[in-house]
Structure 1
C-alpha cells in the first residue's frame, strides 16, 4: 500500500473520532449545564482523541522508518496519551469533587484497553517478533472507537433516567 494512502486513512479516521467525541461533548455541555462526571469524561476523551488525531501523521511518518525507537514512537506515544488521559480523568474528578459515573468508568476502561493494546502489540511485534496480536490490534482499536459514542450515550441516558426517577420520588 501507498504511504500517503495509509497516512490519509489514519488521519481521516482520527478526525472522525475526534469530531464525534467533540460533538458529544458539546451536547453534554448543553444538557448538563454544569460540571459533571459526564462533562469531565467527555472533555478528557475529546482532548485525548484530538491530540492523537493531530499526532497521527507525524507518528506514522516516524514509524515507517527502520529502528525500534521509531516503532516505539507510534505505540509508545499512543499508550502515553492514553495513560495521561486516564490520569487526568480521575484527577479532574477528584479536583472537582465529582462522583465517578458509569460514563467515566466506560471512558476509563476504554483508555485502559487502548493502553494495553498499544503496549501488547509493541511487545508482540518488536520484542517477541511475532504477529500474534496483529488482527486483534488492527480491529479492536477502530471497533472500540466506533462503539464508544453509542455506549457513552446509553450510560449517560440511563444515568439521566435514574436522576429523574430520584427527583420524581423526592417530590412526592
Structure 2
C-alpha cells in the first residue's frame, strides 16, 4: 500500500467513524437501557462527529476562497466543535448525575487534543508560514479518530464482560 492509498483511506474515514459511533450508541442503548457515562460519551461523540462530517463539505468550499478569514473558519469551526463537545460531555454527566468514567475522561482528552491540533495548524500555517505541523495535522487528526474509536470499542467490550461477570456472580449467590 502506497502513501496515496493510505491518504485516501485516512480521509474517507469521517463517515465511517460517525456511523461506528452511532451504531455503538444504538447497541449500548439496546443492551443497557439506562443512562450511563458510556451512553453520554457515545451521544456526545455521535453528535460531534455528525456535525463535523456534515459541515466539512460546506466549510471546505468556504475556506477555499482567498483570505485568511476564510481559512480561519475551517480550523476554528472544528476546534470550536471539539471544545463544545468537551463542555457537553461533562455538562451532561453533571446534569444526569453520572460519575465520569475513564472512557469519558479519555474522550474529553481526545477532543482537547484535536482542538489543539486545529489551533496549532492554523497558527503554523497562516501566522508563521512554517508548515511544521503539516504532516502532524494531516495524519494526526485521522489517527486520533481511529485510536478513539478503538478505545471506545475496547472499553465497551471490557464493560460488557465486566457486567457478565457480575451477572454470573449474582446468580451463584
| TM-score bucket (shorter structure) | 0.7 to 0.9
Q: 1:22-80 CA distances to partner (integer Å, 9 max, x unpaired)?
A: 11111111121110000000000000000001100010011111111100110000000
Q: Which residue of 2 aligns with 1:75?
A: 75
Report the Cα offset of residue 149 of structure 1: 1.8
Give the structure 2 partner of residue 145 of structure 1.
145
Contact 1:17 1:145 in 2 (8 A): yes
Q: Which residue of 1 aligns with 2:134?
A: 134
In the TM superposition, what is the alpha-carbon distance from 1:146 to its structure 2 partner?
1.8
2:63–2:71 Cα contact (<8 Å) kept: yes
Query: 1:151 Cα deviation (Å)?
Result: 1.1
Contact 2:83 2:115 in 1 (8 A): yes
Q: What is residue 158 of structure 2 aligned with on the other side?
A: 158
How many residue pairs get matched? 165
1:24–1:149 contact (8 Å) kept in structure 2: no
TM-superposed deviation, 1:105: 1.5
Structure 2, gaps ≥5 residues long = 1-7
Structure-2 residue corresponding to 1:109: 109
Deviation of the 1:162 alpha carbon:
4.1
How far residue 147 of structure 1 moved from its aligned partner, in angstroms, is: 2.4
For 1:1-172, list aligned pairs within 5 A: 12-165=12-165, 168=169, 172=173
Kindly state the Cα deviation for residue 157 of structure 1 after the two structures are TM-superposed.
2.7
Q: Please, what is the CA RMSD of the aligned residues?
A: 2.3
Cα distance in 2 for partners of 1:153, 1:11 equals 21
Name structure 1 gaps, 5 residues minimum.
Answer: 1-7
Alignment TM-score, normalising by the size of structure 1: 0.87
Contact 1:11 1:53 in 2 (8 A): no
* Alpha-carbon distance between aligned partners in 2 of 1:9 and 1:160, rounded to the nearest angstrom: 30
Q: Contact conserved, 1:38 with 1:103, CA < 8 A, in 2?
A: yes
Deviation at 1:17, TM superposition (A): 1.8
Provide the C-alpha distance between the structure 2 equivalents of 1:142 and 1:127, rounded to a whole number of angstroms: 24
